[in-house]
Structure 1
Amino acid sequence: MEKGLVLKSTGSHYRVRLDDGRVVECVPRGKLRLNEIKTTNPITVGDWVSLELNSNGVGLITAIQERKNYIIRKATNLSREAHIIAANIDQALLVVTITQPETQLAFIDRYLVTAEAYRIPTVIVFNKIDLVDSTIQPVLDSYISIYEPIGYKCLKVSAKTGQNLDLLKQILQGRVSLLSGNSGVGKSTLINLIEPGLNLKTAEISNAHLKGRHTTTFSEIFELSFGGFIIDTPGIKSFGLVDIEKDELYHFFPEIFKLSDKCKYYNCTHIHEPGCAVIEAVDKGEIAPSRYLSYLSIYDDENEKYRPKLK
């Protein structure tokens, strides 16, 4: 019996690195039942698996090792299934851009809520700083002023000029890092600059709509020459939440959770109750309006009603 790390998943076939460094193509055992989660991909990048090698060198995955964490979102096919993006992550790096394309605050908040729910520390990486002029600078400043005070490290980088790429490498060194973001924010370009030998595909922004084009089709994990691993993921257009109950949602907004014990009622929803410390903080400008609107949006979203129970 061999043990290995899942480097790439294409849905039905997996590339796995064995303990001795060999990389083999694998398929799951036919009757393998990994868990009760209804997902599009029960085995994911970052999983440690047990496998058997047959005579032609193809691996048969027989079991998945217990995960320390994973990050999950609703599948994009509008079904009631979820999609596990990656497992066993030390940190997430959410790459955002203020322009070409513009990353929406609501998207950032949904991603952060999921990362909080699965206890994955997140760094917000603002790429394409070279495009920020005097008209865009206030927008960038406002984004950072929302997230830094509530505990999220924000790093400004430029793949074009190389600004702060040395700091980015320091953050990545020795850790398993998940890189996520909308299509076109420059994830693959950043990885190529940090680890030139990988030669990941990149694409230009569509001038017609200033939107990115998908260049990464499947999630894949790469070993970094300076220590650590980085997981490159396909660009995400939206982020549907999974397995977060309404009465627990405030736990995953750090600034709301911090004030929740000062509310008049222990079961305060932070929406309409008198004596709510959170509403008072919003009124005083101590909680960013965009964050509170994201909280209300997720709380009231009819599309969030389906929450598969996870183990």
Structure 2
Amino acid sequence: MKRTPSADLQGFSYGFLGVLGFSLTLPVTRMGVGSLPPELVGPGRALLAVIPAALLLLLCHRPLLPPRHQLRAVLVTALGTVIGFPLLTAHALRTVSASHAALVVALLPATTAVMAVLRGRERPSGRFWVCCGLGTAIVLGYLSLGFGGGLHTGDAELLAAVVVCSLGYAEGGVLARDVPGWVVTSWSLVAGTPVAALVVVLAWPSQGPTLDARGAAAFVYLALGSSLLSFIAWYRGLSTGGVAKVGQIQLLQPVLTMLFAAVLLDEPLRPSTVLVGLAVGVVVLAAQRTRTANSGGPATTQERIVHDRRAGLE
């Protein structure tokens, strides 16, 4: 069906609201780790997010967990997006700035595409691999040459977060061929909650966390804003305006994150960081277009992978 201009505008509006919410995740996570353990700011937020997610499943007459043949995919998605990415990024943001982290996490669309290739057994062209390699080289070169303050322990944690999250996205993308994306998201929250609870219990400070208003606000936003409300807007935008078009709004996310970090955390907005972020965005766009044109697989696979990304997701 041909989309009308009003549908396109509505799709882009909802899509932009979703990306705007995702762009706050890293700065707000850095705010949270100032007063809360990273285990609580990261996986712990699933303990709050799972409540509305479970209610949504029940109200829509969906099971709380998938059937047995889909359980493995949901568990992999949960380990990557509900546990791994939030935990690793929260740890990393104790030692690196949100702007610095945004640049590394900008590799996520490319690594997700690589995981999708491996998971879906697609055969993209050589140009796709050149684009992915170039984007990785830009980020690693920026870090290793010291423009981002040199390599940190946090960089290893961020790179690991990108890998595990991309695996979760790709697995969720395959699963979303059969069920809606919001169901995959809700199932992954439910499936990941026991592990998240265990992580929180093991890391709980003996004196209890020193929760202040700033930390509490950060926790609530990460649980309800990044993990749920942003995804509602994002999915609405993708379904209304089209994944191929609306999905490109994600390329704004690294620069928007840097702007939010400057406003919320007083982080310096370095021109070199912004330029590198834009360069990575261009390379990711080229990689995605190359893959779409040459993969030969169904368009829905690529589309599902794009819209099944989570904010610690993101």
TM-score range, shorter chain: under 0.3
Higher RCO (C-alpha under 8 Å, 6+ residues apart): 2
Instruction: Give the structure with higher Rg (CA).
Output: 1
- What's the TM-score, normalizing by structure 2? 0.24
TM-score (norm. length: structure 1): 0.24
